[in-house]
Chains A and B, each alone.
Chain A
């Protein structure tokens, strides 16, 4: 499938910084920890009235973005790729943010249409 995979492969290891087994488990425990925090909010803080649902929802989204960062940066190795590739992948995400903004705004109007 690939003509010269070994060459590229070794070149990648050149800048030394890559995933070691220690780092893999560290990222795993970070992901697990963040999920546990989400559970703590959903099962304890919100039902007992320590945190309003309006506060909890943005917190969930921020924590989810943290998890997404750790998966993409470390598990998918993007943090250690060339900066050109990183931007080629991350910049198009702006379109997704655009769609979120447009449809959030739009759905505000749907509320009034439905009444």
Chain B
């Protein structure tokens, strides 16, 4: 008799036998993971269409020629990857401050959470300013949604000997894809900054202290790291490849 009872008790301890959360995460955090998964699909669709269009194009504006200036300074030529390298560094850095805020939350240290969150917000704002400068620079050259620079400027962005008709066609595709994808990503960064500000205000008000846990920091942290993750891919496929 007692053996049977023990067996039932054994069964009940497995993760999926009911009575507890099999994933062992709080509801909101799991939903954030599933939202991020759906967002990953959206970004993948955009990046894969970019890949397919670029792959099938006879030529493409060379990244080391299009992105060779440092917007906001007088450097106009010969500095490929410098500016975007700075942007990448800023975003990875703000990811670090975010994960440090989460870690401080685990120790219920309100003061540290606030400072790391402020650091993250500043990082996000710096990234957005850099992106604004980058967009402004490309726009001043003549790129915009379905707009490309004039013939003389356009030639600077291609290897020598590419016919003008091909330059025109692929530049249009490049401009549309670049502004759509970095715009969609930038919008995510912007929303992330807004969410971070709201959460920081809540921390200041002591909402999570009363609640007894800083789990909310983890949830916004997940979103923020995802934004960083997407940038890693955007960086590779627009600036390196």
Contact = CB atoms under 8 A, between A and B. Distances in A.
B136 interface: no
A1 B28 contact: yes
Interface stretch (B3-11, B177-185, B188-196, B208-216): B208-216
Tell me the interface secondary structure of chain B in the complex.
Answer: helix
A90 to B, nearest CB: 9
Given A35-B88, A68-B232, A8 B51 contact: no
Contacts of A18: 106
B30 interface: yes
B28 A2 contact: yes
A77 B25 CA distance: 12
A5 B229 contact: no
Contacts, number: 152
Interface in A74-90: 74-77, 81-82, 84-85, 88-89
A76 B103 contact: no
Interface residues of A, number: 57
Contacts of A45: none
A17 interface: no
B1 interface: no
Interface of B: 15-16, 21-28, 30, 33, 37, 40-41, 44-45, 48-49, 51-53, 55-56, 58, 64, 80-81, 85, 88-89, 92-93, 95-96, 98-100, 102-103, 106, 211-213, 215-216, 218, 221-222, 225-226, 228-229, 232-233, 235-236, 240-241
29 contacts: A2-B28, A2-B211, A5-B212, A6-B211, A9-B26, A9-B215, A11-B24, A19-B103, A24-B103, A38-B236, A38-B240, A39-B81, A39-B85, A61-B241, A68-B229, A71-B225, A71-B229, A75-B98, A75-B221, A75-B225, A77-B222, A81-B24, A81-B25, A84-B16, A95-B41, A100-B48, A107-B55, A108-B56, A114-B58
